[in-house]
Structure 1
Amino acid sequence: MKPIYLLLAIGFLTISCDSRYDGPTDELETLPVSQVEMPIKFAKDSITEIPVHYIRPSVCHFFYDFYYVRNNFTRTVAIIALKQNSGSNCPPSQLDYTANIRFKPASLGTYHFKFWTGTNAQGVDQFEEYDAVVDH
């Protein structure tokens, strides 16, 4: 009786491991920042929300998170969107959206923010850059 269960289990595993999945898939995509409402001064250990604007290229793109890299007093920021691939039913969208990034400086000094705005014709990353002082 046990060999029958073993054969059935192997059969189900073989059938369920089909690698030809044609259904919708999701992927992460980096989107450029279109505008930033950047304060010029911050208070140490205080949380400030910075509004970051971006454009969704299609109705299948949704805000997922921020790309946020710290390097001493430099912060590099971009938008990470989740693109839901639902076949060809994904109309373009040029609507402006806003996501707030929360910044809490831990040290006094001047922070340099680099917001990724895309790439130029040669494929070089372009940034909108701001300096913000933490003086109290």
Structure 2
Amino acid sequence: MKYLWIMIAVLSAISITSCELPEEGLRVSYDVVAVDSVQMPATFNFGQTYDIPVFYKKPSDCHVFEGFNVTPELNIRNISTVLARLDGGDCVDGNLPEEQSLRFTAASNGSYIFRFFNGVGANGEATYLEYDVQVLE
């Protein structure tokens, strides 16, 4: 029993002194980045799940993949890539290529239109990479 109390005391001391955050705390900001390309299948089979490779560039090595923001509108899927930027360290800037997979299940018949955010055009409007994919029975 004595050793159990010693282990609890040691673990408590380690947990209190490790992983201290700076006084101002860890700051995280979020960025939406343009998709460069997508390896979209020509067709989907109804009910099957697909991993769709999506390619983009990270602005720095302090950016980490946060996820895809998918907004459905009937059979249209508007998709943007969201990165989290962890502030507080030395970052190496540059267009660092990265790939993530978008998991999608073909849950209805007909077709899906995928619109991947591709940047902002000269007139200030968002541009998209568009794919129309038929669902086979």
Residue 70 of structure 2 corresponds to which residue in structure 1? 68
Instruction: Letter of the 2:50 partner, please give it.
Output: T
Indicate the percent of aligned positions where both proteins have the same amino acid.
30
C-alpha distance in 2 between matches for 1:84 and 1:112: 33
C-alpha distance in 1 between matches for 2:44 and 2:63: 32
Deviation at 1:23, TM superposition (A): 4.6
Task: Report the 3-state secondary structure (helix = DSSP H, G, I; strand = E; otherwise coil) of the residue aligned with 1:35.
Answer: strand
Q: Does 1:130 align with 2:131?
A: yes
Deviation at 1:122, TM superposition (A): 2.6
User: 1:29-44 maps to which residues of 2 (within 5 A)?
Assistant: 29-44=31-46
Cα-to-partner distance string for 1:40-62 (whole Å, 9 max, x where unaligned):
10011100110000100011101
User: 1:37-52 maps to which residues of 2 (within 5 A)?
Assistant: 37-52=39-54
C-alpha distance in 1 between matches for 2:70 and 2:28: 21
Task: Report the 3-state secondary structure (helix = DSSP H, G, I; strand = E; otherwise coil) of the residue aligned with 2:46.
Answer: coil
Instruction: Letter of the 1:71 partner, please give it.
Output: E
Residue 90 of structure 1 corresponds to which residue in structure 2? 91
Instruction: Letter of the 1:118 partner, please give it.
Output: G
Instruction: Letter of the 1:37 partner, please give it.
Output: Q
Residue 58 of structure 1 corresponds to which residue in structure 2? 60
Instruction: Letter of the 1:133 partner, please give it.
Output: Q
2:51·2:103 contact (CA, 8 Å) conserved in 1?
Answer: yes
Deviation at 1:22, TM superposition (A): 4.0
Task: Report the 3-state secondary structure (helix = DSSP H, G, I; strand = E; otherwise coil) of the residue aligned with 1:56.
Answer: strand
Cα-to-partner distance string for 1:9-38 (whole Å, 9 max, x where unaligned):
xxxxxxxxxxxx645411111111111001
Which structure 2 segments of 5+ residues have no match? 1-22
Deviation at 1:71, TM superposition (A): 0.7
- Tell me which protein shows more strand as a share of its residues: 2
Task: Report the 3-state secondary structure (helix = DSSP H, G, I; strand = E; otherwise coil) of the residue aligned with 1:95.
Answer: strand
2:58·2:96 contact (CA, 8 Å) conserved in 1?
Answer: yes
Task: Report the 3-state secondary structure (helix = DSSP H, G, I; strand = E; otherwise coil) of the residue aligned with 1:39.
Answer: coil
Which stretch has the larger CA shift, 55-64 or 113-122? 113-122
Task: Report the 3-state secondary structure (helix = DSSP H, G, I; strand = E; otherwise coil) of the residue aligned with 2:68.
Answer: strand
RMSD: 1.3
